[in-house]
Chain A
Amino acid sequence: AQSVTQPDIHITVSEGASLELRCNYSYGATPYLFWYVQSPGQGLQLLLKYFSGDTLVQGIKGFEAEFKRSQSSFNLRKPSVHWSDAAEYFCAALSNFGNEKLTFGTGTRLTIIP
């Protein structure tokens, strides 16, 4: 079955430190891949997406993600986090065979400490 795994439920980092959030997928063929962010009480905002091409994808708010086919991973990174980055982050995948069902990971909650 198709699935998306975010192994870290909760991560705490210091403001100004670097960040990496992990995401692994299990699909028959490489899916489309997305990262969304959800601030408390809000809907989901798209950070970035990967469809094909360059495996390093730049997104909004200074985030980037790297697609690694050999590891079935699409990890999200930011070189220096800000207090406003505290939120929940969701990785998601969509089959590229016309099935419109987006599969989400269970999310990683990010806490920023001063």
Chain B
Amino acid sequence: DVKVTQSSRYLVKRTGEKVFLECVQDMDHENMFWYRQDPGLGLRLIYFSYDVKMKEKGDIPEGYSVSREKKERFSLILESASTNQTSMYLCASSIGTGHGEETQYFGPGTRLLVL
């Protein structure tokens, strides 16, 4: 079974703090993704990565950055947290293009509250 883990289930931070959300997958997947989920808006893609040290902007990258130094780990960084970044953050991974299997597998999510 694919396993995607996220470092924290719940996180409380203050405005202006630098926040790191970590995601690890154990299936040697090439692609990894960060989404945020807000009521009534569904899931929106923040960033994704298709290889180590590679990253692509998603639909809402403003205020976020990412890091992928190792294949299994994809970090989401909030350089200066703001209250409008209070949300549920979901990480996902998929095997990669050309393998005929494009399914994304999700972690349990991190609920972030910025005060």
Contacts and interface: CB of A to CB of B under 8 A. Distances in A.
* B: contact size bracket: 20 to 34
A46 B103 contact: yes
Given A90-B43, A105-B42, A100 B48 contact: yes
Contact of A100 (B31, B42, B107): B31
Interface residues on A, range: 20 to 34
Contacts, number: 53
Contact of A42 (B4, B104, B109): B109
Interface string A35-76: 010000111111001010000000000000000000000000
A102 B42 contact: no
A44 B105 CA distance: 8
Contacts of B97: 98, 100
Nearest to B58: A101
A104 B114 CA distance: 25
A106 B102 contact: no
A86 interface: no
B102 A36 contact: no
Interface of A: 9, 32, 34, 36, 41-46, 49, 51, 90, 92, 94, 96, 98, 100-102, 104-107
Contacts of A43: 4, 90, 106-109
A98 B30 CA distance: 13
A100 B90 contact: no
A101 B43 contact: no
Given A32-B102, A36-B106, A104 B48 contact: no
Contacts of B106: 36, 43-45
Contacts of B25: none
Nearest to A6: B42
